[in-house]
Structure formats: C-alpha cells, structure tokens
Structure 1
Amino acid sequence: MSFGFLGIQFGFALQNANVSRIFETMGANTDDIAFLWLAAPTTGLLVQPIVGYMSDRTWSPRWGRRRPFFLVGAILASIALLVMPNVTALWMAAGMLWIMDSSINISMEPFRALVGDVLPSEQRTTGFAAQTFFIGVGAIVASSLPWMFTNWFNVSNTAGPGQIPLSVKYAFYIGGVVFLLAVLWTVIRTKEYPPEDMDAFEEEKRRTAGFWNGVRESFMGIFNMPKTMKQLAAVQFFSWLALFAMWIYMTPAITSHIYHTTDTTSKLYNEGADWVGVCFSVYNGVSAVFALLLPSIARLTNRRLTHMLCLTAGGLGLISIYFVQDPKMLLLSMVGVGIAWASILSVPYAMLAGALPWNKMGYYMGVFNFFIVIPQMVAGVTLGFFTKNVFHGASVLTLVLGGISMIISGLLTLRVDDADDVRSVTTDEPADTLGYEKLAPANPEV
C-alpha cells in the first residue's frame, strides 16, 4: 500500500534538492527564487482538493477508488521529471516546476486517503509511519543521486553558463523511471474495498456530479472543517512554512554561508549544491528510521506531545545552521530536521483521520492540503522580501526564521483535540501499542 510513496518521494526529493539550483543556473537572483516557486503551490491549491473530491466519488471493481489517480499522476510526473533537467531558460524551468508539482500531487493526495480508507483506527499511525518510512528511503537515494554520480561514477557536476550538469540530468532520469515503477507496484498489488452501501454511494455521486460542483465543494470545505482539522491547520501552516524556507533557500544559504561563493559555474558552488543533496538524504534517512519509533513514543506520551517535541527538534536544527562553518557539521543539524519530518508526515494525518467521516476521507484530506499549499504561497510572496530587505541577502537567516516558525508550530500542537488519543477519553480498555482508543474499523471488511 505504501510502497508507491517511495516513487513519489523520488520526485519530491529531486524537486526540493535541485530546483533552486536549476533556477540559479538559469540566471535567477537569490531573492527571486521564492517567487519562482509559487508555480507549484498555485497548482496544488487546485489539484489536491479536487482530486480528493473526485476520488471519493470514484469506484471501479477493477481499479478501485484511489488507484486510477495514482496511475495518471505517476505517468505525468515521470514525463515531467525527464523533461525538467533539459530546460534552457528560466521561464521553462518555472513552467516545468508547475507541471511536475501538480502531477506529483495527483498521485500523492489519494495515497493519504487510501490509508484512512483501508486501515482501522488503531493501525493508522503505523500506516502513516510506513508511508514515512518509504518516503525516507526514496528521498535518501534521490537527494544524493547527483553527489553519487559525481563521486562514485566520475560524472561531471559542473557545466557552462545556463547549462545543467550531467549529474543532475541523470538523477532526474532515474527519478522518472523509479516514480512510475513504484506507483505501478501499489496500483497492481493493493486491494481496495467497495462502499458499504453502493446504492447510497451512487446516489451521492449523482447528487454532487460535475467538475464545477467539485471545485465549489472543495473550496467551501475550508469553511466547514471539523474542529480538530482547524486546530491542525495552524500547526501545518507554521511547520510547512519552515520546510519551504529550507527547501527554497538551503542551496543559496549553504553555498554562500559555508562555501562562500555564488558563482553557479564554479566547482565550489556545485560541491556545495551536491552537499545540500547529501544533507537532505540525511534528514530523510533519520526520518525513515525515526518513523518506526513514533508509535512507541506516542504510546508512552501522546500524539500531541510527541509532535511538539519532534517539531522543536526540527526548529533547533534549522536555527543551528547559522552557527555551522564545517559542512560535515550540517549533518547534525539535519538530524533534528529529520525527526521533525518523520512526525510531520505521519502524526497530523493520524490525528486528522480519526476526526473525519469515512465517505469524505479523500475530500477532507485534499482540503487539509490547503495548509501545505498556503504556507508555500506565503513563503513565495514573503521570504524573498525578508531575504533581500531584512536579512540583506543573508539567506541563512531565512533558515533561522524557518526554525522559529517550526517551534511555534510545535507549541500550537498542544491545543489540538485528538479524538483517538486514549488519554483524552475515559475508558477501562488498555491502550494499544499505538496510543489509540480501540475504535471500530474504518471499513467493516478490514
């Protein structure tokens, strides 16, 4: 069920570690990079809730509910990954980011809903943790691919002005193939369960049919969110604002603050850019391992406290980059970020799933992704201003701002109502190993 996320994360990891590098290679100024990233969240704002809405109303005895969307998104994203490293102008790079990100989102959003569909409540933390594990494994490899090609296979990591190095091109080519194959595995091997009442399902589908009805319902959903979802929205906003600050500015921050160069054609700059990929591999590796520990930590404490502690570790990790001068010491900073990343990818979704009705799982998961997209849009509009006018071009201070944002997010977690947390209800039943109240399965057939 979760293996396809390995491929999805190949796409996201290559995007996060290399797109700013590609923008700078195509001639973008440091303070313009965040604005160029706006293409991605603009499409995500539309794509994810509509895909969730449509997948809720899809059923095929052969293909199921979510799997058709996995497959279409994977095909489009794989094509975009093959094209991205061959762009020849800045506008082309921005356009391909738009296409690539929206295609990845078509595949990603139904994966979140699939866990909520198929798994009973007491297994969801483990289900989302399994996704996080495959996300980590995929990102470890994908983020390091340019560095691997350069250091293991002697592939050039430098190129002339306006040209993307071969090491980056080969990384994207492999990413396109892995993305498609991994998602195909989930499409072929996963079983989905039909609606409990098919007549009611068909009636609901007829009543709410139409693309524009889907658009209206999707955007109105932000005003009708359950209480837990509203509380988690604030948590998501500040944590993802921090992540986008890192993804957008990590390359210029490291190359200028530690490698002391802004010349994109220089060997030193490209060494620094490759090392950013290694750093991203480390935080994803930590995330993959730590995700396996999250259910036990949630059992010993609760999910709110667990998430708060993880986000605080991530915030301190980002802030510590300002004090680093040895590139190898960045790996310690990335440990904190990895702990936070493991929790961000699993704990909020596990808390949210317990507060959502089964027949609207995909819809609300799509609406919930507004609070990934909106902070990215805010980052695109504001971080360039802060970097240029407040931090006077010192992009490493933008990472510090991201760290502060992540700590704020952790504190906001403490006010979330977690319906599945055994410590928030009175019960004579023992807690299971995941820190859940024993609730009825999401689908009786499971």
Structure 2
Amino acid sequence: MHPSTPKPRLSFWQLWNMSFGFFGIQFGFALQNANTSRIFSTLGADPSQLALFWLAAPVTGLLVQPIIGYLSDNTWHPKWGRRRPFFFLGAVLASIALFLMPNSHMLWMAVAVLWLMDAAINISMEPFRAFVGDKLDPSQQTAGFAMQTFFIGCGAVIASLLPTIYADYLGVSNVSVNGGVPDTVRYAFYAGGAVYLLAVLWTVFTSEESPPEDMAAFRRDSGKGLGHGIAEILDGFFHMPKTMLQLAFVQFFSWIGLFAMWIYTTSAVAETVFGTTDARSELYQDAGNYVGLLFAVYSGVSALAAFILPVLARLTSRKAVHMICLLVGGLSLASVFLIHDRTMLVLPMIGVGIAWASILTMPYAILAGALPASRMGYYMGVFNFFVVIPQIVSGLLLGFITEHFFGGHTGYTLALGGVSMALGGLLTLWVRDDAKAAA
C-alpha cells in the first residue's frame, strides 16, 4: 500500500539529480568487479581461492543492508532528510577504501580492504533503492529505477575502461613490479575514489526529501531502538510479501550467474584467449585490461537498454521483459567458454548487458509496487538477502566445483553461471506483478 497523499510527478532533471549518485557508486563497484580477482591473483591467490576471498561482498551486504534500510526508514533530519545521511557516510568510507585497495602489498591486506569497501558501498547504495519508493509515484517508479540503471551503466563503462585508457593513451605502466598492483589499476582506483564522493554529493545537495506525514507516529516508531529493528528484520524475512518471495528465487539464480562472471572472467579469458595462467605475467595483465573493456561493453549496453525496458514493459509486462532478458543474458554468458577470439567476446557481453539492465530495474520496480511506503527501506534491505545469499553460496561452492569438477578451468564455471541465470529467467513466469508497468 502507498500513502494517501499523491506524490508530485518529478521532471526529467529531478529524476537525473536524485539518481546521479549511482554514477559514483557504480564507478567504485565496477572497479571492484573488474579488478579485484586480478589484484588477488597478482598478490598470489590461487584460482580456487578467489570465490572464497570474494565472500566479503555478500557477507557485508547481508549484515549491512537490512540494518541500514531499517535505520534510514527511522531517520529524519530537517536538513539532511532520511536517506541522504547514509549516502554521504557510505561515500566517504568507500572513497577511503578505493584509495587503499591498490596499495595493498599483501593478499590479506587486499581482502581486508575489500570488506571495508563492500560495507561502505552497501551503506550508500541500499537507501538509493528506497529513495525511488520515497519520492516517486508508482507510475514513475519504473522510470526512476531505469534512470538509476542508466547511471550504473555509464559509471561502469568509464571505470572498466580506465586501466586500458591509462595504459594505451597515457603511457602508464601495466606491468606488475615485484608482485605489486600495476600503476594502471592504482590510478584507476584513485580516480574512482574521487568520482564516487563527488557524484554522491551531487545527489545529496540537489535532492530534497519530504518529512513523514505523521511525525508523532514516526518518532514513536523510530524510538524503539536497533534491537527492535533487528527483531523486525528477522521477522520480515519469514513474513515477506508473496511477490518478494517469488522474486527471491529469480534473484537467487540470476546473481549466481553474475557472481561467477565477476570472479572468473579474467582468469578464463587469460587462459582461453591470451594463453596464460601466470597472474604476474604481462599477458595476464593485458587480459585484465581487456576484461575491463568487455565489462565496459555490457555496462554500456545496460545504460542504453535502461530506457528501452520501460517501453517494452508497457507494451508487454515487466515480468515478461525480465524473463526474456535473463534468458538472453544466461545463454550469452554460457557461450563465453566456447570463444577463443578476443573480438568475438564482445557479442556475449551485449547479451549480458541486456540482462544486467533488467536485473537492476525490473525486480525493484515490481517489488516497489507491492511494498508499504513506510517500510520501503526495510523491505528493500530484506530483499537484498536474495542478492547476497546466492553470492555466499557461490563463494563457498564455486571454487570447489572449479577445482574438483572442472579441473581448474574457469571457463566452465562461467558456463555454469550462465545456466543459472537462464534458470532465473524461467522462474520469472511464477512471479505475480499486479502493479501497472508505467514509466
């Protein structure tokens, strides 16, 4: 249900301003996705260890997002509003982590910084999802999430290309010296720290939030304390709306595919296309840059698709669009291990980009229409369980499967991820979406 007072329809530039912070958030997130396995491998990690080291991402999300969602639901400041204090705090912490990450000289240091980075990203990212539900009428919510997806794609394109830009156009060294992180990656993370903070500050200072309609009731509910909030979070996990439960299964299999892609694409491409498994070799670092280019492709496609998906949803339905996008993305990801020509790798990344755009838009648009407005942040945080749980499962199992069933060949792990994503697409058929799919 939604509040009785209709929400004003926002202009294009108001949607732009409230979503621009996601440009910075995804700038940092894309640097992490494209380069973390590369950094870990350069510092001595074995391919079978990578998924385990990546557990920082989902575990911090599992712990942080529901709590931040609850806290942001129960926060109000006359100047800072409800969600914006968390945007700001997360941005400061994430920027610090982005500066620290490429200066890790030992594997354990890089893993520790990844924990900090993911916690910080989650602090600023989770309230952005609830921000759409707060500010937009249901008729604009799909467009609001699509605008976020557009900035996610734009930020990821630039961030993913940065190491290649530094190497090819600015003459920065792309070679690991004494087992350290190449300067191309180092400078890319420095730029990411600055962009993250500035982009989020843009949204903080150009967007406004409306106070709770019933301030007395809000103060009464918000005074119950964090202990009460944690109890509510756990209770909500077992009493979630039916639509959320249905989407949970779709999310589970979709994110197994994404996590497999982020962890293993660099090592798979290095082995099958560049012909090396030596993480400190120049060829391996070249493969890392090329994977950044491939990730820029899927991110760019997602930015463009973000504005097409709402139109297709109006013509058909949101769940039909999501199903088709996941099937396309899953089959595309599964095909990567069959390709040995670097240029041809662009094709499956186009399909992955279509799926990524829908993953970032449709589930949240469907869900927002099924949630009570007063608990939007809380339920969005609970919904994040079904983003992080599959990543935890992947972190615990994919390394074992890669080593013992695939003989260490990570290309097969990518294929397994693609099959999982396609299965998520089929499960979309069972999702109920009663809300109007309006832009």
Per-residue CA deviations over 1:176-212 (Å, capped at 9, x if unaligned) read: 0000000000000001111111111111112xx2222
Aligned partners of 2:270, 2:309: CA distance in 1, in Å? 34
TM-aligned CA deviation for residue 42 of structure 1: 1.3
Q: How does 1:74-113 map to 2 (within 5 A)?
A: 74-113=91-130
| Structure 2 residue matching 1:346: 3-state secondary structure | helix
Q: Please name the residue that 2:417 is paired with.
A: 402
Aligned partners of 1:186, 1:70: CA distance in 2, in Å? 9
Match of 1:326 among 330, 336, 341: 341
Please state if 1:10 is matched with 2:27. yes
Q: Please name the residue that 1:381 is paired with.
A: 396
| Structure 1 residue matching 2:243: 3-state secondary structure | helix
| Structure 2 residue matching 1:27: 3-state secondary structure | coil
Match of 2:222 among 196, 205, 224: 205
Q: Please name the residue that 2:159 is paired with.
A: 142
Aligned partners of 2:261, 2:237: CA distance in 1, in Å? 27
Contact 1:252 1:262 survives alignment (8 Å)? yes
Provide structure 1 residue ranges, at least 5 long, that are not aligned to the other structure.
Answer: 423-431, 435-446
Aligned partners of 1:345, 1:275: CA distance in 2, in Å? 24
Q: How does 1:278-427 map to 2 (within 5 A)?
A: 278-421=293-436
Per-residue CA deviations over 1:206-246 (Å, capped at 9, x if unaligned) read: 2xx22222222223221010000000011111101100000
Per-residue CA deviations over 1:235-270 (Å, capped at 9, x if unaligned) read: 111101100000011111110111110112222111
Contact 1:314 1:403 survives alignment (8 Å)? yes
Aligned partners of 2:248, 2:265: CA distance in 1, in Å? 25
Contact 1:5 1:182 survives alignment (8 Å)? yes
Q: Please name the residue that 2:84 is paired with.
A: 67
TM-aligned CA deviation for residue 165 of structure 1: 0.2
Please state if 1:25 is matched with 2:37. no
Per-residue CA deviations over 1:323-372 (Å, capped at 9, x if unaligned) read: 21111111111000000000000100000000000000000000000111
Q: Please name the residue that 2:7 is paired with.
A: none
Contact 1:303 1:421 survives alignment (8 Å)? no
Greater shift in the superposed pair: 213-222 or 275-284: 213-222
Greater shift in the superposed pair: 257-266 or 127-136: 257-266
Q: Please name the residue that 1:54 is paired with.
A: 71
Aligned partners of 2:100, 2:132: CA distance in 1, in Å? 31
| Structure 1 residue matching 2:335: 3-state secondary structure | helix
TM-aligned CA deviation for residue 43 of structure 1: 1.4
Aligned partners of 2:178, 2:263: CA distance in 1, in Å? 21
Contact 1:10 1:179 survives alignment (8 Å)? yes
Aligned partners of 2:235, 2:341: CA distance in 1, in Å? 49
Quick one: which amino acid aligns to residue 310 of structure 1?
C
Quick one: which amino acid aligns to residue 145 of structure 2?
F
Aligned partners of 1:210, 1:198: CA distance in 2, in Å? 17
Q: Please name the residue that 1:40 is paired with.
A: 57
Contact 2:139 2:436 survives alignment (8 Å)? no
Aligned partners of 1:219, 1:91: CA distance in 2, in Å? 32
Aligned partners of 2:105, 2:230: CA distance in 1, in Å? 35
Please state if 1:170 is matched with 2:182. no
Contact 2:37 2:50 survives alignment (8 Å)? yes
Aligned partners of 2:112, 2:58: CA distance in 1, in Å? 13
Quick one: which amino acid aligns to residue 333 of structure 1?
P
Q: Please name the residue that 1:182 is paired with.
A: 199
Quick one: which amino acid aligns to residue 293 of structure 2?
V
Aligned partners of 1:276, 1:394: CA distance in 2, in Å? 17
Aligned partners of 2:265, 2:122: CA distance in 1, in Å? 23
Aligned partners of 1:266, 1:27: CA distance in 2, in Å? 12
Provide structure 2 residue ranges, at least 5 long, that are not aligned to the other structure.
Answer: 1-17
TM-score with structure 2 setting the length: 0.95
Q: Percent identity?
A: 60
Contact 1:253 1:394 survives alignment (8 Å)? yes
Q: Please name the residue that 1:248 is paired with.
A: 263
Aligned partners of 2:86, 2:126: CA distance in 1, in Å? 9
Contact 1:128 1:350 survives alignment (8 Å)? yes
Contact 1:313 1:340 survives alignment (8 Å)? yes
Q: Please name the residue that 1:443 is paired with.
A: none
TM-aligned CA deviation for residue 118 of structure 1: 0.4
Quick one: which amino acid aligns to residue 311 of structure 1?
L
Contact 1:298 1:306 survives alignment (8 Å)? yes
Contact 1:245 1:402 survives alignment (8 Å)? yes
Q: Please name the residue that 2:170 is paired with.
A: 153
Q: Please name the residue that 1:277 is paired with.
A: 292
| Structure 1 residue matching 2:19: 3-state secondary structure | coil
TM-aligned CA deviation for residue 40 of structure 1: 2.0
| Structure 1 residue matching 2:283: 3-state secondary structure | helix
Please state if 1:236 is matched with 2:261. no
Aligned partners of 2:121, 2:177: CA distance in 1, in Å? 30
Per-residue CA deviations over 1:77-128 (Å, capped at 9, x if unaligned) read: 0000000000011111111100000100000000000001100001000000
| Structure 2 residue matching 1:12: 3-state secondary structure | helix
Per-residue CA deviations over 1:154-182 (Å, capped at 9, x if unaligned) read: 11111224200000000000000000000
Aligned-residue RMSD, C-alpha: 0.9
Quick one: which amino acid aligns to residue 46 of structure 2?
N
TM-score with structure 1 setting the length: 0.93
